[in-house]
Structure 1
Amino acid sequence: MKNVFDTLEERGFIDSVTDEENLKKMLEEEKVKFYIGFDATADSLTLGHFLQIRVMQHMQKAGHIPVALLGGGTTSIGDPSGKNDMRKLMTREVIDHNAQCFKNQISNFIDFSQNKGLILNNADWLLNLNFLEFVRNIGVHFSVNRMLTFDCYKNRMEKGLTFFEFSYMLMQSYDFLYLYRNHHVKLELGGSDQWSNIIGGYELVRKLEEEKVFGMTFKLLITANGIKMGKTEKGAIWLSKEKTSPYEMFQYLRNTDDRDVIKFLKLLTMLDMDEIAKYEKLEGQELNKAKEVLAYEVVKDVHGKEEADKALETSRNLFGGNINAENMPSSELKIDIIKDGIGILDLMNMVDLIKTNSEGRRLINQGGVSINDQKIEDPALIIRKKDFKDGEIIIKKGKKVYHKIILK
């Protein structure tokens, strides 16, 4: 069987590795327990997290044992990596709720039955640490001078870095030590922005346990334009269908840049490399087939085949000019909101089609907005109840974005 390291490398996941030769040997010879941490900063995972889930799936498929670590403890501090300011502090209740949401979602992708995997929460060992004992036993192994050279801290020095946040690396490093001692976890995985934190844990375990453990990071989902994939004008692409509908996720992936589609097929789907190789040969308009496959496979794995089929049908209908597709993204508005009428800009703002009125005016002046297939020319247009045919109107923004508004 192919070494899973080679699989991850071939698909473009791997960024940095500690002791690559011995890690490959261990993955070849042992059933390895590995972990990935998920700080519970929201009530749903995102498309960015989905990359990490795919890594876990590849590892589990190869016979290794995933440990999904919910950051119920570390979320109380917040990772300063990539942040210009201190994260907003969250209450215990919110963190616990978010962690439970993560647990439910991750369990849809990873098999935790019959000792095939573990799902743990670092709140179980971090919340009750004795401060003096912790800094005496753990903090003594960390050099402040060295920590300040890491990007996650160095970038914050001008604006100010609290000791509270400074302790995050110690906490994450202690996670690795705890998991090694209690569950014999030998490998920590994470995004490339976690390299400093992973090195902290890797060195701590090696120092205190004199044991070979390993760290590996994978590349972040960055588009050819240098933008984090999964980010839109409206915010993140969530795995929860209540926050991002299956159709919205489908359309987001369907609109992938030509330069990125093969890369994302390798990272975000479980399709065989031989099949992906067929799509690599496509050019120009033919690449739309590969984009459709990317969107379908991800939505199918996240939301199920039925939702993927609906999204595919809707997308094809809309690209074919049929705006009466049943599964179009929609919003329900109370009829009282309309009253004697509502401005088109206010209406588009209300359903998140635009962020600002100036954006809406620009779109309308450029001929980029239609209602029920009629182009709108006046940004001051008032929409009245009579304009809702059978209680519905369909707004089209640009060439590809459709939104149905239903009066209730």
Structure 2
Amino acid sequence: MNTLLEDLRWRGLIAHSTDLDALSAHMDEGPIKFYVGFDPTAPSVHTGNLVQILLAKRLQDAGHHPFLLVGGATGLIGDPKESGERVMNSKELVHGWVERIREQVGGFVSFDGDNAATMVNNYDWTSSMSVLDFLRDVGKHFPVNRMLARDVVARRLEAGISYTEFSYVLLQSMDYRELNRRYGVTMQTGGSDQWGNIAAGVELLRRSDQVKVHAMATPLLTKADGTKFGKTESGTVWLDPALTSPYAMYQFFLNAEDAKVIDYLKVFSFRSREEIEELERATVEAPFKREAQRALADDVTDLVHGRSEREAAAAAAAALFGRGELHELPLPTLLGAAKEVGAAEVSGEIGIVEALVAAGVVDSNGAARRTIADGGAYLNNVKVTDVDQVLGDADYLRGRVAVVRRGRKTVGAVVRA
């Protein structure tokens, strides 16, 4: 089998495929053109999408030509969800999200060289198509009984599903045919939750154009308890730093479970097989050192936000717990770290006792006073000795954030409005 596909299989990146042996032979003939799509149903892509983005980068690094599709048309419809009908966003909002997502996903691949990436928008070939042309040219090739058999559709039938969402598969399938006709694209990748749509595109090309093409889907990543990867108590881990700070992303991957961290490294890191297997041994032999988690957090944060942001996030993580200098951290990093520890916003004059309570590191004013008396309270990593201390301008790092701590591990913050 093709060495690239062997590596992808070792990394756990192949859940479904049309025919791996045929795809391997196709790749051995020379560089192929492939595509992956992203629907703008939110203002940013997230860590689940990052699996597909980095797969595209791996394929491009191996010499293949990526087409990154942002669904200006499909994003107006939305793929059916099991939980119920989607709320339709306005065209203006979706088109704004298209531009944001184009910029995000485009940052991971190269647009130069012999196998330069190409960015496309399915709104370009969908918006001018008439209903009659769509029904005659696309709908004709889709047996309704097969559409009804799709898992998500079958589960939605009892509660009800609109014709709009029912027809989504036709739009996505048409994308594959259009990219094949225009550019010669012969492979589509995506998540395993999209396999029905992806396979439908392969089938449409076979039925309408008598063309054989390929498809491959990655597994959906989960946590050790089976819950969805990329979700935290505060929500989804986004790639946009305005929605998820570099510090929060760094912490998310740093806190990866021992049972899953190697799986995540294989997917998100470009380290070699030998390096990852060494980290796997370290996790088994000395899990308390968390070497694999640090490698994962470093690699992902470097890829998404750059080395300087990663270094700032790592420095903040250490400084919050008294192992670094808080005053050297930039304001965005401080604010990101403060948000992650559940900082309280304050205004006006505030005493240290009130700050400890507001930040959630103690339960009451009495507990705050006892903590100070026992020598266990810290303000910006400096031990607090005066229960009547009032926070002044100098106590707010970069004029905004004051970090309070009880003991070694209980950290909080207050942010001046």
1:3-402 correspondence runs (5 A)? 3-80=3-80, 82-114=81-113, 116-282=116-282, 283=284, 284-286=286-288, 288-318=290-320, 324=326, 326=329, 327-328=333-334, 329-330=337-338, 336=347, 364=363, 374=377, 386-387=390-391, 390-391=395-396, 392-394=401-403, 402=411
Number of residue pairs aligned between Structure 1 and Structure 2: 386
Q: Which residue of 1 aligns with 2:383?
A: none
Gaps of 5+ in 2: 379-387
Query: What letter is aligned with 2:106?
Result: S
For the Cα contact (< 8 Å) 2:39–2:71, is it kept in 1?
A: yes
Shift in Å, 1:405: 2.8
Shift in Å, 1:3: 2.8
Query: What letter is aligned with 1:98?
Result: W
Shift in Å, 1:374: 3.8
Query: What letter is aligned with 1:197?
Result: N
Q: Which moved more, 1:112-121 or 1:123-132?
A: 112-121
Shift in Å, 1:207: 1.4
CA distance in 2, matches of 1:48, 1:259: 19
CA distance in 1, matches of 2:78, 2:408: 40
For the Cα contact (< 8 Å) 2:352–2:390, is it kept in 1?
A: no
Q: Which moved more, 1:144-153 or 1:170-179?
A: 144-153
For the Cα contact (< 8 Å) 1:299–1:307, is it kept in 2?
A: yes
Shift in Å, 1:172: 0.3
* Other structure's SS at 2:15 match: strand
* Other structure's SS at 2:199 match: helix
* Other structure's SS at 1:275 match: helix
Change (3 A) 1:99 1:347: farther
Residues 61-84 of structure 1: CA distance to partner in whole angstroms, max 9, x if unpaired?
11111100001000111001x431
Shift in Å, 1:106: 1.4
Q: Report the structure number with the largest CA radius of gyration.
A: 2
* Other structure's SS at 1:41 match: coil
For the Cα contact (< 8 Å) 1:318–1:400, is it kept in 2?
A: no
CA distance in 1, matches of 2:7, 2:140: 39
Change (3 A) 1:373 1:24: farther
CA distance in 2, matches of 1:262, 1:205: 38
CA distance in 2, matches of 1:397, 1:210: 69
For the Cα contact (< 8 Å) 1:5–1:27, is it kept in 2?
A: no
Query: What letter is aligned with 1:307?
Result: E
Residues 197-239 of structure 1: CA distance to partner in whole angstroms, max 9, x if unpaired?
0111000001122122011100112112112211111111111
CA distance in 2, matches of 1:302, 1:262: 19
CA distance in 2, matches of 1:308, 1:64: 30
* Other structure's SS at 2:44 match: coil
> With structure 1 as the length reference, what TM-score do the two structures score?
0.85
Change (3 A) 1:133 1:278: same
* Other structure's SS at 1:34 match: strand
For the Cα contact (< 8 Å) 1:48–1:229, is it kept in 2?
A: yes
* Other structure's SS at 1:386 match: coil
Q: Which residue of 1 aligns with 2:385?
A: none
* Other structure's SS at 2:300 match: helix
CA distance in 2, matches of 1:237, 1:259: 20
Change (3 A) 1:74 1:403: farther
For the Cα contact (< 8 Å) 1:69–1:121, is it kept in 2?
A: yes
For the Cα contact (< 8 Å) 1:261–1:291, is it kept in 2?
A: yes
Change (3 A) 1:249 1:396: farther
CA distance in 2, matches of 1:147, 1:373: 63
Change (3 A) 1:337 1:211: farther
CA distance in 1, matches of 2:79, 2:50: 19
* Other structure's SS at 2:290 match: helix
For the Cα contact (< 8 Å) 1:3–1:28, is it kept in 2?
A: no
CA distance in 2, matches of 1:177, 1:385: 69
CA distance in 2, matches of 1:125, 1:113: 25
* Other structure's SS at 1:296 match: helix
For the Cα contact (< 8 Å) 2:238–2:244, is it kept in 1?
A: yes
Query: What letter is aligned with 1:152?
Result: V
Query: What letter is aligned with 2:317?
Result: S
Residues 85-114 of structure 1: CA distance to partner in whole angstroms, max 9, x if unpaired?
111111111111111111111121111234
CA distance in 1, matches of 2:408, 2:218: 35
Query: What letter is aligned with 2:278?
Result: K
Gaps of 5+ in 1: 349-359, 376-383
* Other structure's SS at 2:5 match: helix
Query: What letter is aligned with 2:109?
Result: I
CA distance in 1, matches of 2:86, 2:310: 35
Shift in Å, 1:7: 1.6
Change (3 A) 1:373 1:177: farther
